[in-house]
């Protein structure tokens, strides 16, 4: 995600989050997405669009539970320390 | 963040967090009682963390010296896998920006993660002085060794703290792997006057896994003692989380709305779920993962039992 144009595109989506749902409704039809971005004055390549869509992932409960493992996130060890007052 | 944290508490949190390295595992401490809105922040440092960012943060010299010493490969603290900084945020005043307000000083508690094979003498004679920045008083050293001797395998010490912000800067020892019987046995040896009171608190954690016991060492074991419990699985897959919170609500230790918020905390955000809140400059990949870590009950002889929840946050990269 290092392309200046792609970063500009992401910034636009941040500022107009509703557009993300619209974009996703196009599915992963590269031609349609290219047209959609051009209509909004973005000049993205098909590779950049593929890279963008590839970044959409989900976290499974198992993966979240590894975070909950805290200090030994990958071995289910003790949770973080608690030194508050 | 509401109702776990008030807007004021979140504001304090944001000011402090802005000055700390990103990309680390963080824990938020939430007081569960009604009307308690303070939030404390802990971050885990690993040697791969951006420690140079911390060099700019005004902290006590002992903390900087510890981090420098710890970061040296093969040094005396090479056996410490991670260091936590725990920051108690003020409850009544705004937090000044640390980097732009002259004279401000961030005074964290410093906590070293201990390896399973940590040698008690190394803890007392190498790690403890490094954490506190001074040679321990003979009585404190002897007390630490006595407490370590009271921990029977498979239980083991997992964290050693220097509570720098606290009056008298006591040292905290946290022990992992004790059952209720083990907690009783340990306290009978090092803090017999507190045993019944702490065991009564620990009963509320019945059924919890991963029990911890923590106590503070000054001239003696101090009366403030904590017990913790958690479950490895998320609340949506582990009904005992809700049962534990329900017991706290029934005892008046947890507001019902805070219970609901804590149970709903686990999950994640990403650019794809909340683009408007996703940070700039990190692309559209990755996650901000949230997990429920554990419940802590703090017992003091002169106060009602206090319940806290620890909520984890970590930025995760995109999956391969």
Inter-chain contact A82–B226, Cβ cutoff 8 Å?
yes
Q: What is the pLDDT of residues B101-115, one digit of tens each?
A: 666 788 999 999 999
What mean pLDDT is reported for chain A?
A: 83
Residue of A14, A59, A78 with shortest CB distance to B289: A59
Domain membership of residue B180 as a residue range: 7-316
Give chain B's domain count.
Answer: 1
Query: Model pTM?
Result: 0.91
Average pLDDT of the residues in B295-316: 95
E-assigned strands of B171-208?
A: 171-176
Question: Is the sign of the CA dihedral B221, B222, B227, B228 positive or negative?
Answer: negative
Tell whether the model's pLDDT for residue B119 goes beyond 70.
Answer: yes
Residues of A in contact with B319 (CB under 8 A): 57
Query: Does residue B2 lie within any of the structural domains?
Result: no
Query: Does residue B120 lie within any of the structural domains?
Result: yes
A41-47 CB contacts, 8 Å cutoff, 24+ apart: A42/A5, A42/A8, A42/A9, A42/A12, A43/A5, A44/A3, A44/A5, A44/A6, A44/A9
**In sequence order, which residues have a C-beta less than 8 Å from that of residue B137 and are 6 or more positions away?**
none
Query: Does residue B1 lie within any of the structural domains?
Result: no
Which is higher by pLDDT, A75 or A35?
A: A35
Tell whether the model's pLDDT for residue B18 goes beyond 80.
Answer: yes
Portion of chain B with pLDDT greater than 70, in percent: 95
Average pLDDT of the residues in A31-53: 91
Average pLDDT of the residues in B256-285: 93
Tell whether the model's pLDDT for residue A85 goes beyond 60.
Answer: no
Q: How much is the pLDDT for B98? A: 58
Q: What is the pLDDT of residues B137-154, one digit of tens each?
A: 999 999 999 999 999 999
Tell whether the model's pLDDT for residue A18 goes beyond 60.
Answer: yes
Residue of A64, A65, A71 with shortest CB distance to B44: A71
Q: How much is the pLDDT for A1? A: 47
**Looking at the complex, does the CB of residue B291 fall below 8 Å from at least one CB of chain A?**
yes
Query: Does residue B224 lie within any of the structural domains?
Result: yes
Asked if the peptide bond before residue B154 counts as cis, ω within 30 degrees of 0, the response is yes
Query: Does residue B206 lie within any of the structural domains?
Result: yes
- Residue the block writes with tokens 């030194």: A83
Query: Does residue B116 lie within any of the structural domains?
Result: yes
Q: How much is the pLDDT for B97? A: 65
Query: Does residue B19 lie within any of the structural domains?
Result: yes
Tell whether the model's pLDDT for residue A72 goes beyond 90.
Answer: no
Inter-chain contact B174–A81, Cβ cutoff 8 Å?
yes
- Give the separation between CA B28 and CA B310, rounded to whole angstroms: 6
Query: Does residue B193 lie within any of the structural domains?
Result: yes
Q: How much is the pLDDT for B7? A: 84
Residues 18-77 of A with CB under 8 A from B: 20, 52, 54-57, 59, 61, 63-65, 67-71, 73, 76
């Amino acid at each position: 995600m290092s392309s200046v144009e792609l970063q500009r595109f992401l910034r636009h989506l941040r500022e107009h989050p509703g557009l993300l749902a619209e974009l996703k409704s196009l599915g992963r039809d590269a031609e349609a997405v290219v047209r959609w971005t051009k209509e909004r004055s973005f000049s993205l390549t098909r590779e950049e669009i593929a890279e963008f869509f590839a970044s959409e992932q989900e976290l499974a409960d198992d993966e979240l539970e590894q975070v909950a493992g805290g200090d030994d996130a990958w071995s289910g060890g003790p949770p973080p320390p608690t030194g508050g007052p | 963040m509401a109702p776990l944290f008030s807007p004021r508490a979140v504001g304090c949190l944001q000011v402090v967090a802005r000055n700390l390295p990103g990309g680390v595992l963080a824990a938020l401490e939430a007081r569960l009682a009604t009307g308690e809105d303070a939030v404390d922040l802990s971050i885990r440092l690993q040697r791969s963390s951006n420690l140079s960012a911390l060099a700019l943060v005004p902290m006590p010299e002992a903390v900087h010296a510890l981090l420098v010493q710890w970061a040296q490969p093969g040094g005396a603290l090479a056996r410490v896998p991670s260091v936590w900084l725990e920051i108690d945020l003020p409850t009544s005043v705004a937090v000044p920006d640390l980097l732009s307000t002259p004279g401000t000083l961030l005074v964290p508690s410093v906590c070293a993660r201990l390896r399973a094979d940590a040698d008690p003498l190394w803890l007392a004679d190498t790690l403890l002085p490094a954490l506190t920045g001074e040679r321990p008083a003979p009585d404190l050293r002897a007390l630490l060794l006595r407490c370590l001797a009271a921990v029977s395998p498979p239980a083991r010490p997992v964290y050693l703290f220097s509570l720098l912000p606290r009056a008298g800067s006591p040292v905290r020892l946290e022990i992992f792997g004790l059952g209720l019987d083990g907690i009783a046995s340990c306290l009978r040896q090092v803090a017999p006057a507190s045993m019944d009171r702490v065991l009564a608190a620990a009963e509320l954690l019945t059924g919890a896994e991963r029990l911890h016991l923590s106590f503070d060492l000054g001239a003696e074991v101090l009366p403030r003692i904590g017990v913790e419990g958690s479950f490895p699985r998320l609340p949506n897959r582990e009904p005992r989380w809700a049962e534990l919170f329900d017991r706290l609500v029934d005892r008046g230790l947890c507001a019902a709305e805070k219970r609901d918020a804590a149970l709903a905390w686990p999950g994640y955000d990403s650019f794809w779920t909340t683009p408007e809140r996703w940070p700039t400059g990190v692309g559209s990949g990755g996650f901000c993962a949230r997990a429920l870590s554990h419940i802590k009950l703090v017992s003091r002889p002169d106060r009602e039992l206090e319940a806290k929840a620890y909520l984890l946050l970590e930025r995760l990269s995109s999956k391969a």
